[in-house]
Copies of this chain bind each other. A is one copy, B any other.
Amino acid sequence: MSSPGEARDGTKMITRPAKVRTMEEFAALSGISRPTLSKFFNDPSSVRASTRERVEAALERFDYTPNVYAINQNRQLTRNIGIVVPYLADPFFAEVARNLEPLCAQAGFNPILLSSHGDADREIQNLDSLRGIRPAGVLLGPLGRRSRRSDVEAFCRDIPTVLFDCDIEGVGDAYYGSNNAQTVGAVVAHLCRTGEPPAFFEMRHAPNPNANKRHAAYERAMRAHGHEPMFLTVEGEGWAFEEIGFNEGSRLIAARALPTDTVLCSNDRLAIGFLAAAYDQGLRVGSGPGHALRVAGNDDHPYAGYTCPALTTVSQDYDSIAGCSLERLLSIIESGERPPVRETRHFDGTLVLRKSA
């Protein structure tokens, strides 16, 4: 039996453009010198328009792709951009990555996505493996508290790096994240205005430092509204937030340990678990009469619209955060020199009112 791509006598059929292995060969076939081709593949706009058209016409007839390894071996700067996220199984970061990838490609760069899976060793490992491909720059969403600062710092010294989502002070060339004070402030204000002031549901040892900022932001916001903060600080390690939210939420509810009828969760994933716990124990969550509990979150998780009831939360402005991070990184790469000052920006979120509070 002849396989597809071969005629019955076994000779190859020319159904698609002939494969060309080397640039040398392609130069001979196309009648364009190799150095010119090299320039073209490096940046098509760097050759005369008429030449560009000749190359493109030749590419139609011959199937040639420059060898990535040979290219990057000698090039002082690759066109790789590393994207490191702390935990890809969190749909939140998956979304960020999904938005970042096409933007990189559009700018002519090759995005390489890596996840630290919540593990500091993995984070360093990722950075080390990125080092190997000599990226022009890296977008790093750090683990935060767990990050091994000195290692990350060493990496950032060698390679242009922009931090996002979670700051490690003084590390990297820039940082863009959420204005936790504003987002938490907005929910607290809303909750205080429409009912009892909220207690704050959080993990004692949250892996992400945003949790600390939210803790502080909650405390300040409560005092600003003339209330004493009420913390529901629970144990639990790792990134299984839903599970922790559910287990600890169940415990709190069963023990009647809630000081008010309103709970603000440090993030949406905790809230998802907490809502499940409330449902499980027969507590009606919502804002109207006949409801026993109000629950709000923070992040606007992709699933926040499908909890029971739909979760009231604050969306992070991730378009801006991702966009700004990439933009800044590209400008650093293009300028060819590291910026003297480290830019830091916090973007406001917007309150997303649904049914849970």
Residues on A facing B (Cβ under 8 Å): 3-5, 16, 65, 67-73, 88-89, 91, 94-95, 97-98, 101, 110, 112-115, 117, 128-129, 131-134, 150, 153-154, 157, 242-243, 246, 272-273, 275-276, 279-280, 302-303, 305-310, 355
Contacts and interface: CB of A to CB of B under 8 A. Distances in A.
Nearest to A97: B88
Contacts of A68: 69, 132-133
A95 B91 contact: no
B4 A308 contact: no
A355 B72 CA distance: 55
12 contacts: A3-B157, A65-B131, A68-B133, A69-B70, A69-B73, A70-B73, A89-B94, A242-B305, A246-B306, A276-B310, A280-B310, A280-B355
Contacts of A88: 88, 94, 97-98
A82 to B, nearest CB: 12
A273 to B, nearest CB: 6
Contacts of A133: 68-69
A14 to B, nearest CB: 13
A20 to B, nearest CB: 14
Nearest to A114: B113
B94 A98 contact: no
Given A88-B97, A303-B272, A279 B309 contact: yes
A73 B310 CA distance: 53
A96 to B, nearest CB: 10
A242 B306 contact: yes
A65 B242 CA distance: 40
A275 B308 CA distance: 8
Contacts of A70: 69, 73
A139 to B, nearest CB: 16
Given A89-B94, A117-B98, A133-B68, A307 B276 contact: yes
Contacts of A153: 4
Interface centre among A91, A280, A306 (most CB of B within 10 A): A306
A154 B243 CA distance: 44
A176 to B, nearest CB: 21
A71 B89 CA distance: 32
